[in-house]
Chains A and B, each alone.
Chain A
């Protein structure tokens, strides 16, 4: 229960690392899809993900939620099979269907046993979902009602209120705000035709990135990648996402809520995938607030003063600048004290950078713990998918340790001072301050 999973999850997102020697095979399929494959016969299992540039940023503001619903409904009716028939068939084969969804990307994942019957059965069904979705009207109505219920509930909960307000303040009208723009009213408007149109436009052959790891040969991997993508529709590559404008002044939004704790988020537009400042910012953030119990924020706010259970910072690199975010929750009476301390810690870090000792400790952890990032097929699959989706060089794996080791105190200080502006931060506080108790 002394968990730091929030911080750990953030670290995962920012850390794209591939083990030196992890043999990634890459090719473009006949279908046009990009395929990334690691052959591994240690376990009789096979993991696959198929990703598309079909995340929430491809929504329109009026019908925000279309992208997520399109992905959801792929598994709820396809090739004439009902939602129940699909999930029963996967279960009968012991296969597990999964998904990932973010502003850039929508992925469908399959984990199956590699034995012939299970593998071929679950692949055939997986291909059906991707290529022949039905989007049944009655399922759409049902799912809309469920999503709306969830949204109404979220409107009352401080954490969700904070996330929404943060995205609005940080991204304004940039498409990255759309992930937090889904409202009962936008869901109401979505029709079956919208889902069909979205699917045809974005779930296309040339937009597909297939990642595979597990107990199949190269030849089998080639065949299954074709099987999954060959009859996807043809379509143009989606238009690029515009770059994120930087805030020109500080924004602070306070939202009253009766909760015992205030939820506080601070942020600024962060980095893109492949950003030249990636490593200085990534290593620097480990020291500031990414390194769990040993970060400066945890030391100052939790260890020295007992003000929070969790305080973290992360960069989420995306196609365009994903958020740099600091988050914490503290009892409402000490809201202002904790916020001032966080701001002070950030300001000091941006101004002075880390110490040489802190940098060494960060490198020791990031380099020394490298093997832990890839110690399961499940983890490798996610890295393959990110490499493929963002077109990162395959040499990333060989470069990671070297890149981390190269980072200097001066580079971190320089990168933070150029990229993060403590005077122009977005701040959201949901809860109250000392007076309202």
Chain B
């Protein structure tokens, strides 16, 4: 009876919290935030639990533990023994998986809408009751090492990516791979994973995002029922780690069996922090669109199609991060062209931008794509849930999503030129290249290759 009264009171709070037509926000007494977006086009639902814990929260020596724990989350609680989580979801017709990033760890199910309570029941159970055995850990850490071999050790371009990050960030945890260094995985223990779980897996460090053919009030009720009884943890205070200012260009080379060389470049740029007041991150996004928004944006048009210096070339910027951002370029030189030539060509595109800015046509083209993308995203419930969870888990808010396209629309040509001038400067550049080695002459690879720097 008491439960019911509390529950009604929470519902009242919830309706007061509605600030947008699309996303309904609700917070349980234990700190779990619940965000619901209705989408009635199909009788299905996607449910995601976002933990604000990723590789950014790791320490040296146990890199990769966030991701290892993600694997272990499928290895059983007292009520749901190892292997049963996936079987129960599968038997309900569901699809499920999980992923770990630098900033967060996410668990999700996609189900026919009537199965949502099952998903919540299972997620609430493993949020608090994970029962990790040493024997399950011993097997799963082998799986994770196989994953690392598959993703990185045998992929020359992935190695360059890893090398680039560890050169750009000498101090900040973004310098370490999400999957962890092989040596750390070899040294890791089940207790490391348990400690991680104890530290970060709590309702007050999580967000539940539900998108689908649901009634938000019903979802709140279910969340209260399943997650409500869980206790909040006292969370350790996170210490912000800032990367010391880079004072001069940095370079790294990776040798690996491959045919073609490969080039990756990164400049330090700001992340979005105040969605209302910041303008530079929006200008950087538009800049990224001008350089690489479609098949005939500047980089492709000039370096691939016109000058034929590159087989392919691209650029990218991601404004939404808990940590610092980068503006990145990468590409493969054409036959007879070196990585040095390609780097020069990219840098001359950057100089041209700084000197002459962007045309009105280019600006309008990128903005037309922004408007369309905002419509197209509605065809994917999963993607919409991802956007909501990502904004919340990086310390922004889903509320910033509605205005996001408008902020991009407001960017001027002068602002694009200004961010290029301010941030794409030589002293802030890091370059990593692949020096291809003949396949037949190289020996079987050893783990030491990962520790070139």
Binding site for B on A (CB under 8 A): 1-4, 8, 42-45, 75, 83-88, 90-96, 111, 113, 118, 142, 145-146, 148-150, 152-153, 155-158, 257-261, 291-294, 299, 302-310, 329-332, 361, 364-372, 374-378, 432, 436-437
Contact = CB atoms under 8 A, between A and B. Distances in A.
Residue among B92, B312, B376 with max Cβ neighbours from chain A (10 Å): B376
Nearest to A365: B90
Contact of B335 (A42, A145, A374): A145
A191 to B, nearest CB: 19
A306 B140 contact: yes
B97 interface: yes
Contacts of A2: 70-71, 74, 97-99
Interface string B364-396: 110011011101101111000000000000000
Interface of B: 41-44, 67, 70-71, 74, 83, 86-87, 90-95, 97-100, 110-112, 115, 138-147, 149-151, 153-154, 178-179, 257-260, 293-296, 301, 304-305, 308, 311-312, 332, 334-335, 361, 364-365, 368-369, 371-373, 375-376, 378-381, 436, 439, 442-445
B368 A306 contact: no
B311 A372 contact: no
Residue among A1, A307, A437 with max Cβ neighbours from chain B (10 Å): A1
Nearest to A42: B41
A261 B95 contact: no
B259 A88 contact: no
A84 B100 contact: no
Contacts of B179: 1
B150 A309 contact: yes
A84 B232 CA distance: 56
Contacts of A1: 67, 70, 98-100, 147, 151, 178-179
Residue among A43, A149, A374 with max Cβ neighbours from chain B (10 Å): A149
Top 9 A-B residue pairs of the complex, sorted by shortest distance between their CB atoms: A368-B93, A94-B372, A306-B142, A369-B93, A306-B139, A375-B42, A293-B86, A87-B296, A87-B295
Contact of B372 (A42, A113, A436): A113
A367 B92 CA distance: 9
Residue among A93, A157, A366, A374 with max Cβ neighbours from chain B (10 Å): A157
B259 A329 contact: no
Contact of A3 (B99, B334, B379): B99
A259 B155 CA distance: 9
Nearest to B262: A153
B305 A361 contact: no
A432 B445 CA distance: 12
A365 to B, nearest CB: 5
Given A258-B445, A308-B143, A375-B44, A91 B293 contact: yes
Given A91-B294, A364-B92, 4 more contacts: A2-B74, A88-B296, A370-B93, A375-B381
A303 B258 CA distance: 33
A330 B154 CA distance: 12
Given A260-B154, A369-B93, A375 B41 contact: yes
Nearest to A286: B90
A368 B92 contact: yes
B150 A149 contact: no
